[in-house]
Amino acid sequence: MKVIVAILGLAAAAALTAAPIAIDGVIGVYKYRFDNGLADGTAYKSENVLEIVEVSTRQAYVRAHLEFFNGHICDISGAAQLENGALVYRPHENLGHDKCELTLQRKGDKIVFGDKNFACKTMYCGARGSFNGESFSLSSRRPIRYMPRLLASSQYAAAMHELGLAGPPPKGK
């Protein structure tokens, strides 16, 4: 019996270890809806969204919109680099002592966010929001059917500007 429990424990640990990401294996849009609420008891539906667009074999445009209790959100977008099997985004406008370093890693059947020192939370999230540990199931990945609109967005233009692949940043950025 102890051997079976040990084997199950090792299998569970293996499922949670990070596996290298190949950009072409994760491009697409990930979404899921869930019940949410306000402090006054009002209930509503929320939707979390992750978009990953290949820019090159080592770079991807990433946009995440995460919703939390009482209307708090996390919103971030930019050009992530492939580093040690993870997508890593370090915004150019990094301020403060701790620098925002957002990672996307593949762990088991999920893409999981990491936020070193919670510095990205400070810059891109409301009080109840956080990237750390948030995840999307790989099975929820779908093709991006609105690619022309995404490529024309100010967020995408700003990410390409960060990479030096476009002209000046869009107005309002």
State pLDDT tens for residues 131-148: 999 999 999 999 999 999
Q: Indicate the range of 63-67, 129-133, 160-164 predicted with least confidence.
A: 160-164
pLDDT average, residue stretch 80-95: 88
Does residue 13 have a pLDDT over 70?
A: no
pLDDT for residue 167: 57
pLDDT-derived band at 124 (thresholds 50, 70, 90) equals: very high
> Is the distance from CB of 49 to CB of 144 less than 8 angstroms?
no
* Domain presence at residue 132: yes
Contacts of 43 (CB under 8 A, 6+ apart): 35, 36, 37
pLDDT for residue 12: 46
Q: Tell me the whole-structure pTM to 2 decimals.
A: 0.84
pLDDT average, residue stretch 69-73: 94
Residue-number span of the structural domain to which 6 is assigned: 2-162
* Domain presence at residue 171: no
Does residue 86 have a pLDDT over 90?
A: yes
The rounded percent of the chain whose pLDDT value lies above 70 is: 83
* Domain presence at residue 170: no
* Domain presence at residue 31: yes
pLDDT for residue 98: 78
Contacts of 77 (CB under 8 A, 6+ apart): 61, 62, 63, 64, 155, 156, 158, 159
pLDDT for residue 99: 87
* Domain presence at residue 53: yes
Round the average pLDDT of the chain to a whole number and report it. 86
Give the total number of structural domains in the chain. Answer: 1
Does residue 8 have a pLDDT over 90?
A: no
